[in-house]
Chain A
Amino acid sequence: MRALIAAATGLALAFALVLALTELGTPTGETSPKPLLTTVPPHP
């Protein structure tokens, strides 16, 4: 019974971690102030 509880705890923690990480997602950032180019850049 205790083994079952330990396994269930591990499983629940894995789900909680992954759900929390995906819920957080990644920051969207801001639109770059750089213009759309009408000159040839010298390098990337």
Chain B
Amino acid sequence: MHRRAGLILLALAVFFAALSPLTRWYAFPRLAKIPADQYQDMVLVAKDATLLDYGTMTERKVPQVTIVQTLKGNVEASERIEKTAGRDVVVWDGLSYVQGPDGEMVSKIPERYIFDAHTQEPVHARGEMVDGDPVRREGLEFKWPFLTEPRDYEYFDAQARVTAPIHYKGTQDFRGVEVYYFEQTIPWTEVPFPRIMPVEGITRETVAKTGTTRWYTTVRKFWVEPVTGAPVYGEEIHKEELRGGTLLGDRKKVTAFAGHVKMREDYIEHTVDLVTSQRVVVLLMTSYLPWGFLGLGLLLLALALSIEARGRRAGGSGVEEPVTSEPVTA
């Protein structure tokens, strides 16, 4: 009876001890992924910003510019791309909608971002675009990988359509959450005009004929929770200028937008709460369960060995009996 219990405990000990590394190194990389059907919105505001009045082509100070960013997982597109990519893919259709102080549209830039659901590496497929222009992304956008490391990453800038390093600048505490702070500077770069302009009749093509060009620079800041790889907060010091051409008359340049863009307070609180709960789920697979299984396995092994030892001690005299009573046949 003891022997049987010992063997069952041994089997269970090996079962749990094996589950420990299997959970962490086999199951986690395969199960942890961004859901293909995710939908999320974000509101950012730039207080006391500078905005271009396209009617008079002069810059003006405004109390607030609001940026509404929506990301919507396109499940049908991801399933279609998965067939050829051979891996789990997420397709995010995004829209950055910028609204002026009176509720008028300033710009409206759609995006399609295709990436690996597990690693967040970009996946290149037809339809990948920014504002209708085909792009080939390298590096990250919007989200860091699970178990983010304290190092520099490559980050895709949708305005300039370029990938540049985003530097790890240290570990900080953001509202009780340990975060990695990243910063990227995009120097003054010529960028395309948006396809949808705030004034009817003006298009990217008509502006191009005037010889006026659009330039942009930004300092992008992200506070990223490293377990989930999700930014809990973001800021951007963003400047845009129109330069040269007949559109500006005798002026060399005019500010199209300048502002310090920050996440709206209620969205910060919502994001911190969401990321904190998601963090527990990731930690369950990377830490709590693997260590728990290992501890349980060792405990069961110790129990199995002690039962086996007790069984041997108890059966010590009884083992010799059959030997002595065995008839000698030789």
**Chain A residues near B (Cβ < 8 Å):** 2-3, 6-11, 13-15, 17-18, 21-22, 25-26, 28-32, 34-41, 43-44
Contacts and interface: CB of A to CB of B under 8 A. Distances in A.
Contacts of B31: 21-22, 25-26
Interface string B10-26: 11111110110011001
B27 A21 contact: yes
The 6 closest A-B pairs by CB, nearest first: A10-B14, A29-B37, A14-B18, A44-B270, A36-B95, A10-B15
Nearest to A4: B10
B199 interface: no
B79 interface: yes
Contacts of B39: 32, 34
Interface stretch (B64-72, B202-210, B313-321): B64-72
Nearest to A28: B36
Interface string B260-299: 0000001100110000000000000000000000000000
Interface size band for B? 35 or more
Given A2-B7, A37-B41, A38-B108, A14 B14 contact: yes
B30 A38 contact: no
Majority-rule SS of B interface residues: helix
Given A15-B18, A38-B105, 8 more contacts: A10-B14, A15-B22, A18-B23, A25-B31, A29-B35, A32-B73, A37-B97, A44-B266
Nearest to B9: A6
A9 B12 CA distance: 9
B171 interface: no
Nearest to B32: A26
